[in-house]
Structure 1
Amino acid sequence: GSQKKTDWVFLFHSVWIALKNACVCVCSGCLIEQLTEEKYECMVCCDVIRVMAPVWSCQSCFHVFHLNCIKKWARSPASQADGEGWRCPACQNVAFKAPTSYTCFCGKVTNPEYQRSEIPHSCGDMCGKKRTGRDCNHPCNILCHPGPCPQCPAFVTKSCICGRTSKQVRCSQTESLRCEQVCGALLNCAEHCCSQICHQGQCQPCQLRVQQVCFCGVVHREVPCGTDRNSFDGTGYFSCNKQCGKMLECQAHRCLQTCHPGQCQPCPLSPKLVHSCPCGQTALAKLLELGYPERRGCTDAIPSCGKICSKPLPCDTVHLCDKLCHEDSCGPCSLTSTIKCRCGSKTKRVPCVVIQREELMFTCEKRCSKKRSCGRHKCGELCCVDIEHKCTFICGYKLNCGQHRCQEICHRGNCQPCWQTSFDELACYCGETVMYPPVPCGTKPPECKNPCTRQHNCDHPVFHSCHSDERCPPCTYLTKKWCMGNHEQRSNIPCHLQDISCGLLCNKPLPCGFHRCKRICHRGECDAEGECKQPCLHPRPECGHPCKAPCHPGTTCPHTTCTAKVSMQCDCGCRKETMPCMEAASSYQRYAAIAVASKLSDMQLGESVDIAQLTKKEQTQAKLECDQECATLERNRRLAEALQVDLSADPFNTKSSSCKYSDSLKEDARKEFKFVSEVEEEIRNLVELANKGKQPKRSHCFPPMKREQRRIIHELAEVYGVESVSYDSEPKRNVVITAIRGKSMCPNSTLIALIERETAARAPPPIAHIKQYNSK
């Protein structure tokens, strides 16, 4: 409905422009005046035609259009004629070639230059076009001009219609000369003369009615005099399309041809015309030599040769007649033939009788899978025989306006721009800026430089202009706003930002009453997940470590195994190890049992035992048993005291430094020797730069790595007195170490050197003794 309404509006507007131009430009002079003063409007775009703009003029109605406008019109669906070509928007005259270049009105000069003293869009030379008169051969003798050429002013001698009289008249005169005499010309029958007064055109056919007979003399008809006069052969005028039936010269057979002019053909059975047997394989002269009687007349039988006929049957050139030589026509074929479908992909066998009766061609069930001319759809026709698979679907794609769809036949490439036009004014939101019709479909409202007049949520000054979008741009006025957790008031915050985070911990008490929120300043409630999941901090009754179970307010702590890490060392302090609290408790019980057993042995020897030392509370800490290494270290210490030797100054004393490295760290160094050596070298360099450089602090960031490797870095940093912190989340979690002057120190012996010495001091494995056996 909207499409038809727009088309009618466009049609009425085009008619109005055409009537306006026709009323003004009734002659070439008015058209020249309108084009010179730039008052002539193009019917397609409804805009004034400038003197410098390329134009095109219709040679039928002489309307002038913009060249680009008429090109678009010629390509549009609305301009297409029923057959081929396109229609002029003014006179609807059909043209087969679309305009491509800018020429003058007479067509002699391409891209004419505008001169103030000349007619716009003309070449300034003589027009030279053929005038509109039918018999006028004089070219137009005025300068190149728009509109029709003026009438020819020359005088010529013209005859009257019947050609008997003549006189001098204007060449442009279109009325025919008539005299008052009778025509007297011979009519079409060549027997009677015309009795009309001097008239135009050929004389009327003779109106007398006569009787005519056909060539065979059987059928008669009444027609106007002169009908089929040239077909008369002496006996008849026309053919009745029936069998002739005239007796032939032989007086035994009649003519079997259709009613024909002239004499009938000789009898086809005459002995003069028949020279072979009925099948044509044997000459009659040869049969006469064999004793066959000679034919004397057309009624005598044609002797048979006795061979197989072998004439091609009517069904196919492959099948031949299998009867003996005979005079009658060959009978119907009793065999079958193979025929193909229309596309030639499938075949089937049918009786030859069917082929003789009618031309048979069947359609197979194969669907054509080739692409149509649009390149999008498949043909899909059954038994297709088309060479060019033209697409018959409607394109249906949305046009550039975004509202209408393409109504052309499915095509390649982009669709043409939308030709829908509105004749209503298009204004901006505030109405100050207006675009006047015609407005092409899909045109956005004009840009307006006035401030936006819409109602806004805030009372800040408006800095954006009037716009056609539904929502206004966000307000960027800088204000002061509290963060989401009301921790602090931030300055220079744009007005449109609502949720602002200060970056601090929330630290609000949770509903459980034991913990505080550890999230960064956030929106909404702290217990958004429904319940607190932080670890319980109540001490365990058996070991004093925190419960660490998920928060459980109002209930007792569950009985679970304590997983807290406990640092253990032996009495001499040489061995140090970290293990879970449960294993530490069992180790302490074993240590206490050994102590009690030693005290009992002392009681058997008669010594007193102080039980209070075993029941003290601080004795409940777990301890490690001293091993052979501890005994060796104690022996060396006593020997050094006796010899007054300082063990700390001995560079080869690795026992003092080896106690700084835990057994787990040594084991990791043996497994990942290269990684540990690189990390330790980086830490040593960092410590030396911090102690000797200008900056008191030096930091280094390791790349992301696995959890076990990060643990090795943390333990090595603790040995060197370097701070280590892990950042980011998995899988990009990394470690940053910081060396501080005065706090970070390098040990006497590195972990890598210690591992290398232990490996070198280790005895080689025994070589197995292999018995030698002789070949026997």
Structure 2
Amino acid sequence: MPEAEGSQAQTQSQRPNRGRSHGHRRGRGGKTRQPVDGSRSGGASAPSQSETLQSQAGSTATQRQIQASSQTPARSIPDGSNSNQRGRDRRSRGPRQAGRGSARHDAPRSFTHRSFGGHLTGVTGEAGDSAVSAAPSLSADAPEFVPGKPLVTRSKPTKPKTFAKPQVRLPKSTAEDLGTRIHEDIRNFNYECAICTDDVVRTSHVWSCTLCWTVVHSKCVRKWYDNQKKQTDLQSSEPRQVFTWRCPGCNSKLSDDPGSYHCWCGKDINPHPAPSSLPPHSCGQTCSKPRPTCPHPCPLQCHAGPCPPCGLMGPTQSCFCGKNESRKLCRETDYENGWNCQETCGDLLPCGEHFCSKPCHSGLCGDCGMTVDAKCYCGRVEKQMPCFEREEPQMSYHIADQSWFDGTFTCNRLCERSFDCGSHKCSESCHPQEEQPGHCPYSPDSVTHCPCGKTPLGELLKNARVSCEDPIPHCEKPCHKKLPCGHLCASKCHTGDCGFCNETIEVACRCGRTRTLSVCHQGDIQNPLCMRICQANLSCGRHKCGEHCCAGEKKAAERQAARRKHKLPSEVTSIEAEHICIKTCGRQLKCGSHECQQICHRGPCANCPEAIFTEISCDCGRTVLHPPQPCGTRPPDCRFNCLRRPSCGHPSVEHNCHAGDVSCPKCPFLVEKWCACGKEKLHSQPCHLQEAHCGRVCGKKLKCGLHSCKKLCHRPGECEDANLSGKHCEQACGKTKLFCEHPCQNACHGQTPCNESSACTAKAVISCPCGIRTQEVKCLASSSNATPSRIEIKCDDECLRLERNRRLAAALNIDPTSHQNDHIPYSDTTLRLFKENTSWAETQEREFRVFAKSPNEVRLRYKPMSTTYRQFLHVLAEDYGLESRSEDIEPYRYVVVFKGTRFVSAPSKTLSQCIKIR
């Protein structure tokens, strides 16, 4: 029993812990939950180490509570009184009279159970009825334990419970850089998602814009992205080359997918929540993001926001001219453009004579612009000109001055210097001169052949030439010198230029479809234009070429052929230059106010680039978009209820504010309404219906006075003849004719008599004398031929057979109306197999009868089936007079039925009828 009592006391001491909340938060009972009656003080067995440590913690907390209560009497709680003080839980609910928190805080709790090693209550026990006794704990000055003697417990002052201060929300961060502000605001629960307006916390999955660095939830930006993409797909059926979407923070156009959640630097994908020692959503590694104008990566720890400017020193850079060097901070160093020292460049220019006088500059110094004196090659013209315009200097001899000089340009004059013969002069343009005159090209030693070069002069002259002035003979052969166009000169051997080519050639038109004859004229031929109009589509896909004799028509045909064969990778890049549309698009943009000003293009037009600088409000005016807004922006969706009232006077259905072109929900109330024709008052009709209809035929007399309106319930004045003039309607007349008694089929003609002058087209029935055979013919009766002659039908063999049967029945005293034919045209095997599977057999019988009635079908093939089914088909075909056979092997064996010479028709009785007869 002592062990049971001890365990029971321990259970009682542990019972107050039931109200303790999870984690580091405390329950309503305050800071400690130790028993207040000292029931653990008299135990005979020593407590364990964990129990002892818990007891020490509870004793210390109790002493602190007693000391605090003695120092602050205003907050002390008298023994045995109910406390109105709330617990430290944030969800405090006012004073508690008999709740769990009141019992723990206000009065000491006594236990009726005995503890192990119990003893009589002493002075300490009496004094401790209203005080909180300390839990057993280790102590250096504890008295020696003697079995059988009471254990004196020493009470220690307890510290009263303390109240948690209300949590104060920290203000927004005021740090200088954006990244620190984002870190502090997320850490202090001060950063809101721009999409859902919920807090972005350390454990959230986030996404950050690379332009404005706005941080939102990953799931929010994914929905944001998907909604914009879905809206774009609905507005345009053709896919876009590049899809762009708006950033929820800065409205900038982004083309990259939001992707998955990652740390700020992007190294860690789907990371776990960062510990408190790191910034929120940081992986703790070095950022290492590349800077756009700096070769050094970011050295900071993984952070939000933009990377700060580089603080390192840049490399030593020489100026453009190389005379000076400079070293600056990396962020101040211009790696792309370099720097200039503003001193004179001084580099040697390409002429090799002058130096650059420009200030220190990038790139080449350029051509030399110095003005210099220049002399032509022949020495007759001297002038000043820019240095870079001079040609290659060449040594030339000045005849008048008899001196050498450097010529640097051509004056374009003829040389006209006499050759060594003194009779002929040089006919070339300005060129460098030699000191001695040139040898005459017409001298006998220079000319050895005729002008065309085919015949030696020895064959043409009896006496050789002795002077340059002697004539040069011509041969009778064609010149055949090659002309610039590629043809050969057709003239006879001659001196001087060959002249123009007069060769007749075949020239193709510009598109290459037709060819015409033309004179060569030295090959300078323009292609003629044919009258063929090009019908190829331009690059925009909207316009056609329409040019006469288009040079790109053949290319367009080849492109279309390659496209049909799926050999063309890209439609836009392969379009020939002649078929690129350069017109203005001019299509109406989505805004409805402007036209597309881009060059004509494929696919949907871009959004309107204009902006609206007025407020855009919803229909009720309570939701407003402030300017500027993109042109075509629709009024915003309003979250308030619509203010319109229905005209019927019933309460309106609650719904959100909407645009004026959208109607409010229909009134759902049911009312009584008269139908449109006024014959019946209808109940439970929806209020929003403008008219109610009873569904009855109108029945009012029409203008003709003969017919009634056949329209269903309608408003007055809307009968069939409402739009007709005169005393007639659109129905058929229907009056009985005088000569044939058929109804008149003409359109209603009012009270006027029917016109029977034309033959009646109604059907009449004629029969043979016995009445068995009948035939429908046209009546053909008219006012001029009341009894028209008709063909006579004669009796046939069937009539004779029926007449013979009637006579035989009369002779045998048989009543034909009650007699039944008991003949069964099917075999017993067929009937037995039919009974075994009636539903399937009836289906096959119907197919047999359809096959038998079809004159064009001669063969019927069935699917593979079992032996029993095939047997039924064979015996049924035998009864029908059809031929049948089985083909293929098991399990693919099937039946084929075809019409043979024995087949006449299907039996008159079905298998079901024969089963009933048997």
TM-score using structure 2 length: 0.41
TM-score using structure 1 length: 0.47
